[in-house]
Copies of this chain bind each other. A is one copy, B any other.
Amino acid sequence: MKNSFGSQITVTLFGESHGPAVGAVIDGLSPGIRVDTEYIMKKMEQRRPKDGISTARRESDIPEILSGVFNGYTTGTPLTLVIKNESVRSRDYESISDIPRPSHADYTAECKYHGFQDYRGGGHFSGRVTAALVAAGAIFRSALEKKGIFIGTHIASLKGVKDRGFGDFREDVSALDAADFPVLDKEAAERMRELILSVKEEGDSVGGILESAIIGIPCGVGEPWFDSFEGVLSHALFSVPAVKGVEFGAGFGFADMLGSEANDEFICDGGEIRTRTNSNGGINGGITNGMPIIFRTVIKPTPSIYKAQSSVSMKTLKPTRLAISGRHDPAIIHRARAVVDAVTAIAVADLLSVRLGTDCLADGK
Binary interface encoding of chain A residues 188-228 relative to chain B, with 1 for a CB under 8 A from any of its CBs, else 0: 00000000000100001111110000000011111111111
A307 touches B260 (CB 8 A): yes
A255 touches B103 (CB 8 A): no
Measured in the bound complex, the distance between the Cα atoms of B333 and A259 in whole Å is: 13
- A61-115, CB < 8 A from B: 64-68, 70-71, 73-80, 82, 100, 102-105, 107-109, 111-114
Measured in the bound complex, the distance between the Cα atoms of B317 and A209 in whole Å is: 38
B263 touches A209 (CB 8 A): no
B225 touches A239 (CB 8 A): yes
Is residue A41 within 8 Å, beta carbon to beta carbon, of the partner chain?
no
B114, B226, B289, B301: the one contacting A235 at CB < 8 Å is B226
Is residue A244 within 8 Å, beta carbon to beta carbon, of the partner chain?
yes
Copies in the complex: 4
B70, B118, B290: the one contacting A111 at CB < 8 Å is B290
Contacts of A296 in B (CB 8 A): 252
B206 touches A305 (CB 8 A): no
Measured in the bound complex, the distance between the Cα atoms of B257 and A160 in whole Å is: 10
Is residue A53 within 8 Å, beta carbon to beta carbon, of the partner chain?
no
B244 touches A249 (CB 8 A): yes
A302 touches B259 (CB 8 A): yes
Contacts of A180 in B (CB 8 A): none
Measured in the bound complex, the distance between the Cα atoms of B62 and A78 in whole Å is: 21
B20 touches A263 (CB 8 A): no
B14, B300, B354: the one contacting A254 at CB < 8 Å is B300
B260 touches A251 (CB 8 A): no
Measured in the bound complex, the distance between the Cα atoms of B230 and A266 in whole Å is: 34
A107 touches B266 (CB 8 A): yes
- Among the 9-residue stretches A42-50, A121-129, A144-152, A165-173, the one with 4 or more Cβ atoms under 8 Å from chain B is A121-129
Instruction: Tell me the interface secondary structure of chain A in the complex.
Output: mixed
Q: Which residue of B lies closest to A247 (CB)?
A: B245
> Taking the nearest CB of chain B, how far is it from the CB of A99, in angstroms?
8
A287 touches B111 (CB 8 A): yes
Measured in the bound complex, the distance between the Cα atoms of B360 and A362 in whole Å is: 17
> Taking the nearest CB of chain B, how far is it from the CB of A273, in angstroms?
5
B67 touches A32 (CB 8 A): no
B303 touches A108 (CB 8 A): no
Q: Which residue of B lies closest to A68 (CB)?
A: B14
B234 touches A67 (CB 8 A): no
Contacts of A245 in B (CB 8 A): 245-248, 251-252, 254
Measured in the bound complex, the distance between the Cα atoms of B100 and A30 in whole Å is: 22
Is residue A310 within 8 Å, beta carbon to beta carbon, of the partner chain?
yes
Is residue A314 within 8 Å, beta carbon to beta carbon, of the partner chain?
yes
A25 touches B12 (CB 8 A): yes
A1 touches B76 (CB 8 A): no
A70 touches B16 (CB 8 A): yes
12 extra interface residue pairs, beta carbon distance < 8 Å, beyond A103-B264, A235-B235, A245-B254: A1-B28, A1-B227, A3-B27, A23-B80, A67-B124, A75-B124, A207-B254, A244-B249, A244-B251, A245-B252, A266-B312, A268-B318
